[in-house]
Amino acid sequence: MSKEDVLNYFYTNSTQYGIKETFIILLCGLAVGMVIYLTYYITSEKIAYNRKFNWSLVTMLLITVVVMLMISSNIAISLGMVGALSIVRFRTAVKDSRDTMFIFWAMAEGLCVSSRNYRMSVTTVLFIAAVLIVSSRIPGIWNKYLLIVTGEGEPIDRERFEEVLKPFIVSFRIRTANRDAVHEEMICEIKTKGELNLNVIDELMSVPGIQSVNWVAESGETVG
């Protein structure tokens, strides 16, 4: 087989997508992308929610559909796309591993839609969305907090401090302790069975030597 025969085979064994068919595929991709969009919005921490990143997931799914349609429509173009995409380098660091998971999910659904396997696409996107939403609503066994206690003047009564704190917590560990001639500070890691009980702050403020008490909730890899 000559070189011309190979090229003719590539061009003649290609699939052409009309405007209507392409538009329907993109609409299906948009519908699947909106499920991913809503899932990211529902399961994300609202303080750290990134609306632009969420829309980029939908756009990424549609771009994946377009690329796969181009590759499947013409074998010769597919070879060129492989070469073009191989030189692309993405340097943007993803801070949260959860965002990486959503990126791969959007790409996988884009591949599924572009192959026109709509049943699999609908089934997988709804199943994964349900798993993520349910898992985000399941509370943890323990709630973790950072307790920051500062004092000034007289030393903090450590025995009284632990005695007041004990009924409200499951475990207690001092992570950092600083003290000079005037000031004293302790940062403790606290685990509780339920949500933060504000009464403990009033109790701690009555401990001799304590001037201020701060509670900070630990959530995953970030503190906020």
Q: What residues are paired with 218 via a beta bridge?
A: 223
- Where would I find the beta strands (DSSP E) of 12-155? 143-152
Tell me if 25 sits within 8 A of 68, measured CB to CB.
no
The total of other beta-carbon atoms located within 10 Å of residue 21's CB is 13
Q: What are phi and psi of 140, to 5 degrees?
A: -75, 160
Backbone region of residue 71 per phi and psi (left: phi > 0; alpha: psi in -120 to 50; beta: other values): alpha
Average pLDDT, the chain: 79
**Domain regions of the chain by residue span:** 3-137, 143-223
Taking only the tens of pLDDT, the chain with its 224 residues reads: 566 665 555 555 556 677 888 899 999 999 999 999 999 998 886 666 788 889 999 999 999 888 888 777 666 566 566 655 665 566 666 667 788 889 899 989 998 998 888 899 999 999 999 999 998 877 666 778 888 888 877 778 888 888 888 887 888 888 888 887 778 888 888 887 766 667 778 888 888 888 888 878 765 544 33
143-223 adopts what CATH topology?
Answer: Alpha-Beta Plaits (3.30.70)
Question: Sign (positive/negative) of CA torsion 162, 168, 170, 171?
Answer: negative
- The rounded distance, in Å, linking the Cα atoms of 53 and 124 is 22
Position 18 scores a pLDDT of 77
Position 222 scores a pLDDT of 43
Type and span of the H or E element at 131 = helix 118-137
The token pair at 103 is 């990126």
Position 223 scores a pLDDT of 39
